[in-house]
Amino acid sequence: MSGNQTEIYNLEKSAELSPKIANWYAIMVKSRERLLHILDGLVEEALDFTPNEEKFESIGTLLMHITAVEYLWIFADMDGLDVDYERFKHGFALRPETKIPQIKGKSKQFYLDELKDIREQVYKRLLNLKDEELEKIVASEGEKYTVEWILFHIAEHEMMHIGQILLLRRLYSQRS
């Protein structure tokens, strides 16, 4: 880029989605692009790395957690659908009440496929969501949320875990 050119950063919004829904989905897409960029340069052995098996999720476990939470907020909490516990259980490792081990031995492609599959399902679900429904209240485990807050939280949640993954990647590269 020459000195007189300025890159323009923007959110590419799907014309298939309602305008406000498209905005939230565009934020989710940008977050996912960042995550995929980080994973692109990651060696597979790093996916199982954690500085402490009992206290810190591995990168792979965090990836399953991102996937599980996105699915649960959209399909379980918003739509009341049943959850495939076996598919998503590793997304909740290290919670004392679950006694679920961290996920190990999966390829990077496994995680990429899981992330892609759930995001495609979410996009298809959002095609049927209208801006007027953003203020709809849904309840889960005694808490109440607006649909818009759920979309915000999905994006926020992934961004927070991207920070953890970056830290784990750095710790992995510094181990002796």
Element (H, E) at 137: strand 137-140
Q: Look-up: residue for tokens 């323009």?
A: 8
- Asked if residue 6 belongs to a domain, the reply is no
Kindly report the backbone phi and psi dihedral angles of residue 93, in degrees, each rounded to the nearest multiple of 5, phi listed first. Answer: -65, 160
- Asked if residue 88 belongs to a domain, the reply is yes
pLDDT at site 111: 98
pTM: 0.91
Is pLDDT at 105 greater than 60 in this prediction? yes
From the number of C-beta atoms within 10 Å of its C-beta (0-12, 13-18, 19+), residue 63 rates as: buried
- Asked if residue 30 belongs to a domain, the reply is yes
Is pLDDT at 98 greater than 80 in this prediction? no
- Asked if residue 12 belongs to a domain, the reply is no
Q: Name residue 36's amino acid.
A: L
pLDDT at site 176: 56
**CATH number of the domain where residue 115 is located:** 1.20.120.450
Question: 3-state DSSP call for residue 172?
Answer: helix
Q: How many domains does the chain have?
A: 1
- Please write the tens of the pLDDT for every residue from 116-173: 999 999 999 999 999 999 999 998 888 999 999 999 999 999 999 999 999 999 999 9
- Asked if residue 1 belongs to a domain, the reply is no
- Please write the tens of the pLDDT for every residue from 58-68: 999 999 999 99
Q: Which of 49, 136, 125, 64 is nearest to 98 (CA)?
A: 64
- Asked if residue 9 belongs to a domain, the reply is no
- Asked if residue 14 belongs to a domain, the reply is no
Q: Look-up: residue for tokens 């926020």?
A: 156
Cα 102 to Cα 23, 58, 82, 91, 98: the distances in Å are: 34, 7, 23, 8, 11
- Asked if residue 50 belongs to a domain, the reply is yes
Cα-Cα-Cα-Cα dihedral sign, residues 158, 162, 163, 167: positive
Q: Which domain holds residue 72?
A: 19-174
